[in-house]
Chain A
Amino acid sequence: MAFILFSFTGSQKLFEKKSDFKDGIEIGDKAPEFNLKNIDGKKYSFDNIRDANGNKPKGYIIVFTCNTCPYAQANEQRLIELHNTYASKGYPVIAIQPNDPEVKPGDSFQAMKKNASEKGFPFLYLLDEGQEIFPKYGATKTPEIYLLDSNRILRYHGAIDDSPRDENGVSEKFVEKAIEALENGKQPEINSTKAIGCSIKTA
């Protein structure tokens, strides 16, 4: 019996170690830089991302999302609408695919291109190649939204709205409300929400 207890304790230590990474940004923190390849082959960073009018954005709707997660899929149309509404007002959507394509072949660069063209993504769809960016943001799942202001300060983090699975059930649009608050020079009333999502796939 002592044998068993001993090995339990041993493996628990290993387990704690494995899941013991809590990095990421909080509301009010400056968002980490990135320089990632878009599905058009070009690289994008905060230095060259522009809004729909070619201006430096007033804010950034960064969303960690992917092709394969049902929750991500359920949000695709809403992200398209969000971009179409707000990119011209200075708030473009920037989608970042964080899954390791080796683990999730459906999220390969080729598959991202295909999905984006089929769905007609009007926004950037970047690959987090090497998976260095999502841990810096502290993202754990897809889809997960980070709304930044013009100075790259995190102002809202969480779900697109209160019914991520089913658009018909939406009664509160968290991201839109947060953008409206920023537009009015205010802080979003609700700056952090949670939703079920697919864990980001790492090797």
Chain B
Amino acid sequence: MKYQIKYSGYILALAAMSFIFIHGCKEKGSSSKDKMIVEAPGEDKNGAWPKPQSAMNGIDIYKNFEDIEPIFNLENDTTYIINFWATWCKPCIKELPYFNEVDSLFNNREVKVILVSLDFPDKIESQLIPFVKKNQLRPKVVVLLDGNYNKWIDKVSPEWTGAIPATYIYNGKQNRLIGSSFENTEEIIAVLEPFL
């Protein structure tokens, strides 16, 4: 009984928040491109967002881990949720809607969701791009092609075994590696909450 009340309270709050954000989104929709350009210098102030080697349909592609490494060490007030996934990874695909929802719920907070695709190089154009379009992923999607995994997995987190899905959450004060999949949005928020 107690749980039910608590839960319905949560749902109500979630619904209210979604309502606000859905409307917030509409206004932003038209100027999303401008927003990206405006946002860049702001991030430069506290550590530059790394330039990719190439891009395809607006998705940045990084060849080596060193090139993308700065996104794991940005020092500002934002909490970054960095999820490692691939289009062929079923449990990864399953949790993407939850990341979409978190991205939407925390849209006006200091939270940024980044989806790092580990899709194989020959599948970027044929699989990843159509997938991102079809599923209207809200968070920023980037591609990391570096196949010398042993060199970089520990740089993300020594706690990470290399299994995907995996999610690294950090801000200037703390970090955490979640080496398993999330079953719902609530689970992501539960992990995120101590960072805020």
A residues sitting closer than 8 Å to B (CB atoms) are 3-12, 15, 18-19, 70, 140-141, 158-159, 162-166, 169, 174, 193-201
Q: Answer whether residue B39 sits at the interface, using C-beta atoms and an 8 A cutoff.
A: no
B147 with A165: CB separation less than 8 A: yes
A195 with B187: CB separation less than 8 A: no
- Minimum Cβ distance to chain A for residue B28 (Å): 24
Q: How far is the CA of A165 from the CA of B119 in the complex (A)?
A: 10
B149 with A159: CB separation less than 8 A: yes
Residues of B within 8 A of A197 (CB): 162-164
23 contacts between A and B (CB under 8 A): A3-B6, A4-B9, A4-B13, A8-B189, A9-B190, A11-B186, A11-B187, A15-B187, A15-B191, A19-B179, A140-B163, A141-B162, A141-B164, A159-B150, A164-B149, A165-B120, A166-B147, A195-B149, A195-B162, A196-B153, A196-B162, A199-B91, A199-B164
B residues sitting closer than 8 Å to A (CB atoms) are 6-7, 9-10, 13, 84, 86, 88-89, 91, 118, 120, 147-151, 153-154, 160-165, 178-181, 186-187, 189-191, 193-194
B9 with A3: CB separation less than 8 A: yes
Q: How far is the CA of A163 from the CA of B86 in the complex (A)?
A: 18
Residues of A within 8 A of B163 (CB): 140-141, 196-200
Which of B89, B120, B151, B187 touches A198 (beta carbons < 8 Å)? B89
- Minimum Cβ distance to chain B for residue A158 (Å): 7
Also in contact, A169 and B178, with CB within 8 A (given A3-B9, A10-B6):
no
Residues of A within 8 A of B6 (CB): 3, 6-7, 10
Residues of A within 8 A of B118 (CB): 196
Q: How far is the CA of A197 from the CA of B150 in the complex (A)?
A: 12
Given contacts A9-B190, A196-B163, 15 further A-B contacts (CB under 8 A): A3-B6, A6-B6, A7-B7, A140-B163, A141-B163, A141-B164, A162-B148, A163-B147, A169-B148, A194-B149, A194-B154, A196-B84, A196-B118, A198-B163, A198-B164
Residues of A within 8 A of B154 (CB): 194
Residues of B within 8 A of A6 (CB): 6
Q: How far is the CA of A196 from the CA of B86 in the complex (A)?
A: 11
Considering the complex, give the chain A residue whose CB is closest to the CB of B88: A70
Q: How far is the CA of A42 from the CA of B31 in the complex (A)?
A: 64
Considering the complex, give the chain B residue whose CB is closest to the CB of A201: B91
B179 with A193: CB separation less than 8 A: no
- Minimum Cβ distance to chain A for residue B106 (Å): 13
- Minimum Cβ distance to chain B for residue A139 (Å): 9
B153 with A15: CB separation less than 8 A: no
- Minimum Cβ distance to chain B for residue A107 (Å): 12
Residues of B within 8 A of A200 (CB): 163
Query: Taking each of A8, A12, A196, which has the highest tally of chain B beta carbons within 10 Å of its own beta carbon?
Result: A196
Also in contact, A8 and B150, with CB within 8 A (given A3-B6, A140-B163):
no
Q: How far is the CA of A159 from the CA of B119 in the complex (A)?
A: 18
B153 with A19: CB separation less than 8 A: no
- Minimum Cβ distance to chain B for residue A85 (Å): 22
Also in contact, A140 and B179, with CB within 8 A (given A3-B6, A6-B6, A159-B150):
yes
Q: How far is the CA of A73 from the CA of B143 in the complex (A)?
A: 21
Residues of B within 8 A of A201 (CB): 91
Closest 7 CB pairs of A and B: A141-B163, A12-B190, A199-B163, A194-B153, A193-B150, A3-B9, A195-B149
Q: How far is the CA of A18 from the CA of B178 in the complex (A)?
A: 11
A196 with B149: CB separation less than 8 A: yes
